[in-house]
Amino acid sequence: MRPLTDEETKTMFEKLSKYIGENIKILVDRPDGSYCFRLHNDRVYYMSEKILKLATHISRDKLVSVGTCFGKFTKTIKFRLHITALDFLAPYAKFKVWVKPGAEQSFLYGNHVLKSGLGRITENTMQYQGVVVYSMTDVPLGFGVAAKTTQECRRVDPMSIVVFHQADVGEFIRNEDTLT
């Protein structure tokens, strides 16, 4: 387990800023202690420094994971967020989308959000902006990328895609055998 390089940190923070903006500072400078990001087997983990110190006593080949997995770096050095980061992204999300109860199951099966399933959307959401997807009862379901701006969503066809699916909490069940 090692600290992220400057390039890796920049790539990861750019991806996180699409979803939570400048609230990234809140993740690192928390009132309940110091937290950090560490890289292990191409995956980025978020943990307190207390847990980091305890994890140093375990050899790298024996260590499976420590802390919360925020995502992983691909072979082309792109950063992909994992659904396990949802609990940290949801409270600080700048842009949110609420889906109707009838569209929740469709989203949780890995489908995009259609205009007909859109309940609400944060005002001034730009196209290709990262959004956190909620149920109408404010339960975070996953995250995605806005396919249309807020203004375009008002006048598009009901079968048009308004949010591209990125990850959802249903992945735990669908990909149970392959999650690492």
- Do residues 41 and 75 make contact, with C-beta atoms less than 8 angstroms apart? no
What pLDDT digit, counting tens, does each position of 90-146 carry? 999 999 999 999 999 999 999 999 999 999 999 999 999 999 999 999 999 999 999
What pLDDT digit, counting tens, does each position of 18-40 carry? 999 888 888 888 888 888 999 98
Give the pair of three-digit tokens for residue 90: 């949801």
Residue 165 CA to residue 146 CA, distance in Å, equals: 9
Answer yes or no: do 56 and 100 share one domain. no
Q: Which domain holds residue 39?
A: 2-88
Single residue among 88, 111, 136 that ends a domain in this structure: 88
- Domain of 39: which CATH number? 3.10.450.220
Q: Specify if 47 maps to a domain.
A: yes
Residue 171 CA to residue 110 CA, distance in Å, equals: 8
Q: Is the pLDDT of residue 160 over 70?
A: yes
Among the listed residues 146, 142, 92, the one whose alpha carbon sits nearest the alpha carbon of residue 123:
146
